[in-house]
């Protein structure tokens, strides 16, 4: 089976053209994403046909769980599809079907190569049932209390098609014990579908630094939907304006949000290599 590895700001993915047949994609994700025994990645993306869009993107985390959407994954998916002639931009944009709904992306193409992608990530959702969060409260949920590891955290909760909890702090994010606290927040009882956890520090009204613990993956070098959630939560708290650069460990992403409509995510997409996966399945 042929595969390609790409990354968006260090958030890396294995992409497989899955239009030729079905297989156990969850099982494959666990094997191929293993960083010691496999190709190594945060997730597996499958290219599938769609009756409502140009293509459909399947997304499986490194633990085999299926996820709704990845902003960094979408940029990689668009690069893969355009450069291999699987889909062509229409009026400069592509529409891709996901579990979170249809996503529109604009590709910047230079000498036949996609160098960056601007993704319409859709409008954020704030209701407890939409995220979901197992509490009764009025939206938006900007100060949800969590008791974790003997401490009380106050997080902002946002859905970008998948659930996010954002913790703002004054200390540099590199000092935060994410490896210890991240899994406890991910599996906290208040989040029935688990949650992605971001730790953020606002540096200026147009700049934020952030680290992410991704549901089903662990800490990643970047998270597109997480970056969107952080920018939205920061603006709702009055900390930033409508155009923000988010510095993550794998690079910097540009976020745009007018406070009411869709969130736009822009950043690079890089192909690492192609390979062949040898296993017992056809």
Is the pLDDT at 93 greater than 60? The verdict is: yes
Token pair listed for 78: 């668009």
Distance between CA atoms of residues 250 and 7, nearest Å: 10
The answer to whether 84 and 4 are in contact (CB under 8 A) is no
Is the pLDDT at 21 greater than 90? The verdict is: no
pLDDT at residue number 209: 98
Q: Indicate the domain borders of the chain.
A: 2-122+268-276, 141-261
Average pLDDT over residues 212-238: 96
Q: Does residue 140 have a cis peptide bond before it, meaning omega lies within 30 degrees of 0?
A: yes
Q: Is the dihedral of CA 142, 179, 220, 61 positive or negative?
A: negative
Distance between CA atoms of residues 201 and 149, nearest Å: 21
Residues facing residue 107 across a β-bridge: 117
pLDDT at residue number 279: 75
Q: Show the DSSP H helices in the chain as ranges.
A: 25-33, 71-83, 178-186, 224-236
| Residues found in the chain | 282
pLDDT at residue number 281: 59
Distance between CA atoms of residues 97 and 118, nearest Å: 16
pLDDT digits 0-9 by tens, 111-120: 989 999 999 9
Which CATH number is 141-261 given?
Answer: 3.10.310.10
pLDDT digits 0-9 by tens, 141-197: 999 999 998 999 999 999 999 999 999 999 999 999 999 999 999 999 999 999 999
pLDDT digits 0-9 by tens, 124-142: 999 999 999 999 999 999 9
Is the pLDDT at 282 greater than 50? The verdict is: no
pLDDT at residue number 112: 87
pLDDT at residue number 92: 84
Q: Is 2-122+268-276 a CATH 3.10.310.10 domain?
A: yes
pTM summary value: 0.90
69, 259, 197, 264 alpha-carbon torsion, rounded to 10°: 40
pLDDT at residue number 280: 57
Mean pLDDT for all residues in the chain: 95
């Amino acid at each position: 089976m042929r595969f390609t590895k790409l990354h968006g700001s260090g958030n890396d993915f294995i992409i497989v053209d899955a239009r030729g047949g079905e297989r156990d994609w969850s099982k494959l994700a666990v094997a191929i994403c293993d960083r010691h025994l496999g190709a190594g990645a945060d997730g597996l993306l499958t290219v599938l046909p769609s009756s409502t869009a140009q293509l459909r993107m399947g997304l499986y985390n490194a633990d085999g769980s299926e996820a709704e959407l990845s902003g960094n994954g979408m940029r990689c998916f668009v690069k893969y599809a355009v450069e291999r002639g699987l889909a062509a931009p229409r009026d400069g944009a592509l529409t891709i079907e996901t579990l979170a709904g249809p996503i529109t992306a604009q590709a910047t193409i230079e000498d036949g190569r996609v160098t960056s992608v601007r993704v319409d990530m859709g409008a954020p959702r704030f209701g407890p049932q939409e995220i979901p969060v197992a509490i009764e409260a009025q939206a938006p949920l900007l100060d949800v209390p969590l008791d974790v590891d003997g401490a009380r955290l106050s997080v902002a909760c946002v859905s970008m098609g998948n659930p996010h909890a954002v913790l703002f702090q004054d200390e540099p994010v590199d000092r935060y014990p994410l490896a210890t606290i991240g899994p406890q927040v991910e599996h906290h009882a208040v989040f029935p579908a688990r949650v992605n956890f971001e730790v953020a520090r606002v540096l200026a009204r147009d700049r934020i630094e952030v680290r992410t613990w991704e549901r089903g993956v662990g800490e990643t070098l970047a998270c597109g939907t997480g970056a969107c959630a952080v920018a939205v939560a920061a603006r709702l708290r009055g900390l930033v304006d409508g155009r923000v650069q988010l510095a993550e460990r794998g690079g910097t992403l540009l976020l745009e949000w007018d406070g009411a409509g869709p969130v736009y995510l822009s950043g690079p997409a890089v192909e690492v290599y192609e390979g062949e996966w040898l296993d017992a399945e056809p």
